[in-house]
Amino acid sequence: MTDFQVKKGDPVFLSGSAFERGCQQAKISEFSINEVKEVINRRLQELKKIIWRKDVQGLIGDLKKFHLASDPKIMEEIKGIGIGFGINEDDLFLYLNSSLLTDYSTLSTITEGCTAFAVTDGKGKVFLGKNRDYRSDHISIQKVFLHSDPEWGKRKLLCIGSLGSPGNFSSGMNSEGLVVADTASRVKYYGVGCHRYFLMTRLLVNCSNVQEALQVITSTKNAGGGNLVLADSHGYIATVELAHKSVSIDLIDQGWLARTNHFISELLNKETLDLPQFISMLENSKARLKTVRRLLDNSKGEWTFEKIAKILLFRGNSGEAALCREEGELGSQTISGIVYDPKKKHMWFAAGSPMLPYWQQYSFG
């Protein structure tokens, strides 16, 4: 029994090749086409401040070449999305890499925050929770997508994302119970490599458990920036800090792991970007990490969806930072909360800003 209102949710079904699934986004959301275009155009307008720079042009060109070679299916999905919504393919790729480019150029004063954590009791109970802290214009275009592709066999992907973006754009789970979520983290150095948005989709398509995913991550050349939190149906959980030249991994099968928006490992903590204009964001990230650690420590006993959801809904108090963040706070706000149970292969999703305790439950059935 739960204190929350939980109803069955119906995901957006996308089925077929990568290109076909991309095209289908616009077909199943024809009333949102103009809204998606407006969201993308607003972000592209921000990039006009830096896109003229030779280093930025060089980086985006090299990133496209890299992904055409290493992630052709993602690029096909992007192409399909572009055709479906009537958006230039190059503009769409630029938009999808906008967070990396603005971090690289230290342009943006808005942080795409997020708080994510995973818990496991060593006896079969395992959950992953994430608050998606993002721009308010994504509230109405974020969806729960259920992807299937003949090339994957029976494997399917249940993902939280936004219309106009491919695959696992925020968090997701495959039908074997591998869960992957990300949080943003500005770093001092970026380079040509896989953007974490595209990496998350690669993991769900190709891996069935955390160990397989970690092998893919360590063998992948990463662009840098961001954290990943992973869980699987076997009870393993992990966090990965993604730098361009190295990664830092924590892997356990009992306890909990959490990340906000900075690196904390001994290997990479000095990689976090700490310029004066980002100090308030960094301090907020540290405060939220302290909050979520206390709440996880205090949640003794058997883990349940309800316990995870209550942590995600924490609004703060006089002495602690909120995990469910209000509109206008450092330019980013919580637009949804997600809880995954990789053992039972369920996902719960609550949308809105601030997030409300009304949840929808999704599965692969």
Neighbours of 266 (CB within 10 A): 8
Query: From CA 262, how far away is CA 241, in angstroms rounded?
Result: 9
> What pLDDT is recorded for position 331?
63
Bridge-based pairing state of the strands 247-252 and 237-242: antiparallel
Q: How far apart are the first and last CA of the chain?
A: 22
> What pLDDT is recorded for position 279?
83
Q: What is the CATH number of domain 115-362?
A: 3.60.60.10
Please, is 364 exposed, middle or buried when counting C-beta atoms within 10 Å of its C-beta (0-12, 13-18, 19+)?
middle
CA dihedral of 299, 301, 304, 308, whole degrees rounded to 10: 10
> What pLDDT is recorded for position 326?
82
From first to last of the 365 residues of the chain, give the pLDDT tens digit.
456 789 999 999 999 999 999 999 999 988 899 999 999 999 999 899 999 999 999 999 999 999 999 999 999 999 999 999 999 999 999 999 998 998 888 876 566 689 999 999 988 899 999 999 998 889 999 999 999 999 999 999 999 999 999 999 999 999 999 999 999 998 999 999 999 999 999 999 999 999 999 999 999 999 999 999 999 999 999 999 999 999 999 999 999 999 999 999 999 999 988 877 778 888 999 999 999 999 999 987 789 999 999 999 999 887 899 999 887 655 678 999 999 999 999 999 998 876 677 899 999 98
Q: Choose among 224, 231, 270: nearest CA to 66.
A: 224
Is residue 111 a contact partner of residue 209, using CB atoms and an 8 Å limit? no
Determine if the peptide bond prior to 166 is cis (ω within 30°): no
Give the tokens for residue 262. 């900075």
Q: 320 - beta bridge partners?
A: none
Is residue 220 a contact partner of residue 109, using CB atoms and an 8 Å limit? no
> What pLDDT is recorded for position 329?
54
Locate CATH 3.60.60.10 in the chain. Answer: 115-362
C-beta contacts of 36-41 below 8 A and 24+ residues apart: 36/85, 36/141, 36/163, 36/164, 37/85, 37/86, 37/87, 38/137, 39/135, 39/137, 39/138, 39/141, 39/162, 39/164, 40/87, 40/91, 40/92, 40/95, 40/164
Please, is 26 exposed, middle or buried when counting C-beta atoms within 10 Å of its C-beta (0-12, 13-18, 19+)?
buried
Cα 221–chain centre separation: 19
> What pLDDT is recorded for position 163?
97
Q: For Cα atoms 187, 167, 46, give the angle at the middle one, nearest 5 degrees.
A: 50
> What pLDDT is recorded for position 302?
85
Please, is 58 exposed, middle or buried when counting C-beta atoms within 10 Å of its C-beta (0-12, 13-18, 19+)?
exposed
Please, is 265 exposed, middle or buried when counting C-beta atoms within 10 Å of its C-beta (0-12, 13-18, 19+)?
middle
> What pLDDT is recorded for position 1?
40
